[in-house]
Amino acid sequence: MSETAVHGEAIEWESEDEDSDDAEEEEEYTSPSQPPSSANFDKDRHLVYLQMMYELLPYHYQSQEINRLTLAHFIISGLHFLGATDRVDKDVVANWVLSFQAFPRNRASLKDGEFYGFYGSRSSQFPLDVNGDLTHNNSHLASTYCALAILKVIGHDLSTIDSQSLLLSMNNLQQDDGSFMPIHTGGETDLRFVYCAAAISDMLGDWSGMDKEKAKNYILNCQSYDGGFGLIPGSESHGGGTYCAIASLRLMGFIGADLLSNDPSSSILDPSLLLNWSLQRQASDGGFQGRTNKQSDTCYAFWIGAVLKLIGGDAFIDKIALRQFLLSCQSKYGGFSKFPGALPDLYHSYYGYTAFSFLEEPGLSPLCPELGLPLLTSLGI
């Protein structure tokens, strides 16, 4: 994969919610002459769309360069869902991804407070100084998740990674309240980065990089009165925050697949309240909204759908209506848009593919809801 092939997208995990001040920007992408949606999942068009994005991204993505690995994850993992990873050069991709890892000067450096994970792009990867030392380390938890996801998807042996440095230094990012910063300086803390740390630990098969008990307590402090989870304690329940909370608790082993069938008094959270809040997010148009009184959005079909799958409540979803909503967001160019009638983008396209995988669309790889990746990849097969 060439340096110009994949640009990064400045996506904050599920922080691109549909607030009113975004209305004008979204209106620009609405096509009043959009043809009626297809009645079928158009796999061939999606393959063309992803192949085009793999070869050369449109110039609109240049302003989103900072998280180049994120877009690469959406493209390559998306191709895996469609059964087409043979369309990428796996050796070239692996070498490209591995070139983004940060390395400490020596083992003593692992205690200097920095994180030695993966950079999101070349623009955040400053060169070594004249002495060969890393003076500007901007490696990031979300970029590290995406890097490991790509490597798993293409079948790369993760034992070749310096996971010891990565995990030991990840401890530097965990705060006293159990939350995680995404980068060693100047970063915010919320459930997105607790999830990144849990997913990284799971993919590497090593939990030495985080205190699971402290992380669990932070997650539980984020549950709201209505059963959902906010991104931080005391904040409004949010689809992305709820996914990060439940998926993290599952990955860490604090909840099982039988959460709803267990005695509620023995659970660390209120499963019936969580189920009720999650089911209420399916709107009258069949799609899922991220928060109360918000518009349905393609990506929440995964964020909320995966929560319901993880707690054993997916049987209550109106899957026919959800499928119809997703098809209304399927573009004639391939890919998925955020809302019906808008242009497709890689973020919503990827989570459209995960949603159709969750809906068991024929010809798609099955989904691992905890990691948001194809099931066989998550198991290392």
The residues pairing with 223 across neighbouring beta strands, listed in sequence order, are 229
Percent of the chain residues past pLDDT 70, beyond the cut: 85
Residue 100 lies inside a defined structural domain of this protein: yes
- What's residue 265's pLDDT? 66
Residue 11 lies inside a defined structural domain of this protein: no
Largest Cα–Cα separation, the chain: 62
- What's residue 129's pLDDT? 64
- Model confidence band, residue 28 (pLDDT cutoffs 50, 70, 90): very low
**Mean of pLDDT values over 289-298:** 96
Q: How many helices (H) and strands (E) does the chain have?
A: 14, 2
pLDDT at residue 68 is higher than 50 = yes
According to DSSP, residue 328 is labeled: H
Three-class secondary structure assignment of 215-234: HHHHHHHCECCCCCECCCCC
The residues pairing with 374 across neighbouring beta strands, listed in sequence order, are 367
Alpha-helical runs (H) found in 238-299? 239-251, 271-279
Alpha-helical runs (H) found in the chain? 23-28, 43-55, 68-81, 90-98, 141-153, 163-170, 191-204, 212-221, 239-251, 271-279, 300-311, 319-328, 346-358, 375-378
Q: Give the 3-state secondary structure of residue 16.
A: coil
- What's residue 35's pLDDT? 46
d(CA 119, CA 140): 6
Q: Is the dihedral of CA 304, 306, 308, 311 positive or negative?
A: negative
- What's residue 105's pLDDT? 78
Provide the token pair at 222: 């984020």
**Mean of pLDDT values over 120-141:** 73
Provide the token pair at 50: 């992803």
- Model confidence band, residue 134 (pLDDT cutoffs 50, 70, 90): low
Of residues 131 and 188, more confidently modeled: 188
Number of domains in the chain: 1
- Model confidence band, residue 103 (pLDDT cutoffs 50, 70, 90): confident
Alpha-helical runs (H) found in 154-233? 163-170, 191-204, 212-221
d(CA 198, CA 204): 10
Residue 7 lies inside a defined structural domain of this protein: no
pLDDT at residue 42 is higher than 70 = yes
| Residue 20: Cβ within 10 Å count | 6
d(CA 338, CA 331): 10
Provide the token pair at 370: 């905890």
According to DSSP, residue 178 is labeled: S
Q: What angle do CA 291, 10, 352 make, to 5 degrees?
A: 55
Which pTM was predicted?
0.89
| CA atoms within a 13 Å half-sphere pointing along the CA-CB vector of 95 | 8
d(CA 209, CA 241): 22
Residue 30 lies inside a defined structural domain of this protein: no
- What's residue 147's pLDDT? 97
**CATH classification at residue 209:** 1.50.10.20
b/e per residue, 102-131, with b = 16+ CB within 10 A? Answer: bebeeeebbeeebbbbbbbbeebbeeeeee
When the pLDDT of each residue in the chain is averaged and rounded to a whole number, the result is: 87
Of residues 377 and 215, more confidently modeled: 215
- What's residue 27's pLDDT? 35
CA separation (Å) from 277 to 257, 259, 281? 18, 15, 7
**Mean of pLDDT values over 280-299:** 97
Residue 129 lies inside a defined structural domain of this protein: yes
Residue 180 lies inside a defined structural domain of this protein: yes
Residue 194 lies inside a defined structural domain of this protein: yes
pLDDT at residue 112 is higher than 50 = yes
Residue with structure tokens 């909204």? 289
Residue 32 lies inside a defined structural domain of this protein: no
d(CA 70, CA 147): 8
- Label residue 297 exposed, middle or buried (CB < 10 Å: 0-12, 13-18, 19+): buried
Parent domain of 248: 43-373
pLDDT at residue 128 is higher than 70 = no
> Which tens digits make up the pLDDT trace of 226-266?
999 999 999 999 999 999 999 999 999 999 887 887 766 66
Residues 6+ apart with CB under 8 A from 169: 104, 110, 114, 115, 116, 117, 209
d(CA 376, CA 218): 30
